[in-house]
Structure 1
């Protein structure tokens, strides 16, 4: 049964996040608040993590998973970013955006798109999630928590616990999140392409 950690949204208790990080280290999946909806995260170096995330969501291997990074500098380790892409990332982050970029060799093949070799990247501004990444010491593999067969992302920790208590190692309750997903922009093939409009307004980045 999933453990339940209720934390302060602006000053999350480090000892609780350390316990969640320990569960991640043991191969567990953890539901976390973000600056969009709740997401499910796992360790990038866990060989079974990608499969576990996809199974929870009912996704195939062609659905992009996302690396949640602490800052722009960390992005460059895991994705190839040219100057124009960097300017766009700098304008948008941190915030409710996911960018599809060409993955570097630091990204395991089991995680990236099987044919395009791309990966989703985001830099959130949610304090709870950022502090959890600090506890882990590395970016986290993630996917938006949308129940299989539904379209609406979840934003209530108690609801998540009730639905997934036997599939998650923990739920971190950092308060309600917006019931919406990130805006997804594909930067991997030349001109930026908006794949999904969520909380981020593409017009703020000069995109339609």
Structure 2
């Protein structure tokens, strides 16, 4: 664990090269994707992966997503399938993670999979993430770059507020445009939506040619982001607030009077992009309770409500 403050690296060739060197040395480097900032470590290095769990305070039963620089790299790590190829061609690079059986010769640390026989892989779309993966030249384990269970980071400042001094560096690429973690699709059996995100179930079903199955909450954890309590601010959360109560911080949606508005126009994609940043802002202001206006449960609203329900769950 670093003994000094975390470096903030610029989003230029020198910053990328420095980040790649640190990763090759077994250090932890946060980097921006189109979804949220990931906490990167060499996925083949047991000690580096263990350092992710330590820095985040993440439970060891919670597996990690591995980011790859190309589809060809993914095929070296998992048993690829025709379905995986079709889905990857439709949505990669992008905010979609695929869970497939891990290859016996993948060379990935057992800590990444948390003892499972599958591996979660993603090819991100963010140019800076792609440049870093190419410069590093290998797979990067990359959960969200925050303390476990807390609000996910969508800026370098969010990363530093949670992990300063606990990781080597953060590659500062500005705000993440999608703002919610990737959709996770399980392909180890029947295609199953394991976590909602930027790619909707409807989009996946259209690409598959049949409806995608949905994971039931009572099922064992099979991918990141499935713990009951997750994405949580220090403040308590009150969801589906039809009216405001005195003393609450008010997080609105649509044409409502509030402290911060996810989208005054009622745009769900804009709301998703703003969700974590607004929660960070209200939490930093010292809110004891954050009341959230109802969010339509369609499209990106399904992923937003998933994150909100886990943020509001008993801790």
Q: TM-score, normalised by structure 2?
A: 0.60
Specify the alignment match of 2:59 in structure 1.
Answer: 60
Runs of at least 5 residues in structure 1 that lack an aligned partner in the other structure: 8-12
Specify the alignment match of 1:47 in structure 2.
Answer: 46
Change (3 A) 1:159 1:88: closer
- Asked if 1:3 corresponds to 2:16, the answer is no
Aligned to 1:143, the other structure's residue is in SS state coil
Specify the alignment match of 1:89 in structure 2.
Answer: 88
**Alpha-carbon distance in structure 2 between the residues aligned to 1:106 and 1:76:** 9
**Alpha-carbon distance in structure 1 between the residues aligned to 2:167 and 2:49:** 14
Specify the alignment match of 1:136 in structure 2.
Answer: 136
**Alpha-carbon distance in structure 1 between the residues aligned to 2:146 and 2:163:** 12
Deviation at 1:172, TM superposition (A): 0.8
Residues 28 and 42, structure 1, Cα contact 8 Å, conserved in 2? yes
Specify the alignment match of 1:35 in structure 2.
Answer: 34
Change (3 A) 1:114 1:4: closer
Listed as ranges, the matches of 1:57-136 within 5 Å are 57-104=56-103, 105-136=105-136
1:27-64 CA-partner distances (Å, limit 9, x unpaired): 21111100101110011232212211122333333322
Deviation at 1:159, TM superposition (A): 2.6
Residues 182 and 199, structure 1, Cα contact 8 Å, conserved in 2? yes
**Alpha-carbon distance in structure 1 between the residues aligned to 2:167 and 2:157:** 13
Residues 182 and 198, structure 1, Cα contact 8 Å, conserved in 2? yes
- Asked if 1:179 corresponds to 2:183, the answer is no
Aligned to 1:204, the other structure's residue is in SS state helix
1:163-188 CA-partner distances (Å, limit 9, x unpaired): 21111100111010133111111111
Runs of at least 5 residues in structure 2 that lack an aligned partner in the other structure: 206-210, 213-315
Give the length in aligned residue pairs: 201
Deviation at 1:146, TM superposition (A): 4.2
1:92-140 CA-partner distances (Å, limit 9, x unpaired): 2110011111111213352453543211100011111111111111121
Instruction: Choose 1 or 2 for highest CA Rg.
Output: 2
- Asked if 1:161 corresponds to 2:165, the answer is no
**Alpha-carbon distance in structure 2 between the residues aligned to 1:186 and 1:146:** 25
Aligned to 2:185, the other structure's residue is in SS state strand
**Alpha-carbon distance in structure 2 between the residues aligned to 1:184 and 1:19:** 30
Change (3 A) 1:192 1:146: farther
Aligned to 1:55, the other structure's residue is in SS state helix
Residues 91 and 205, structure 1, Cα contact 8 Å, conserved in 2? no
Tell which deviates more after alignment, 82-91 or 14-23: 82-91
Tell which has more relative contact order, 1 or 2 (C-alpha 8 A, sep 6+). Answer: 1
**Alpha-carbon distance in structure 2 between the residues aligned to 1:37 and 1:55:** 20
Residues 69 and 137, structure 2, Cα contact 8 Å, conserved in 1? no
Q: TM-score, normalised by structure 1?
A: 0.89
Change (3 A) 1:149 1:142: closer
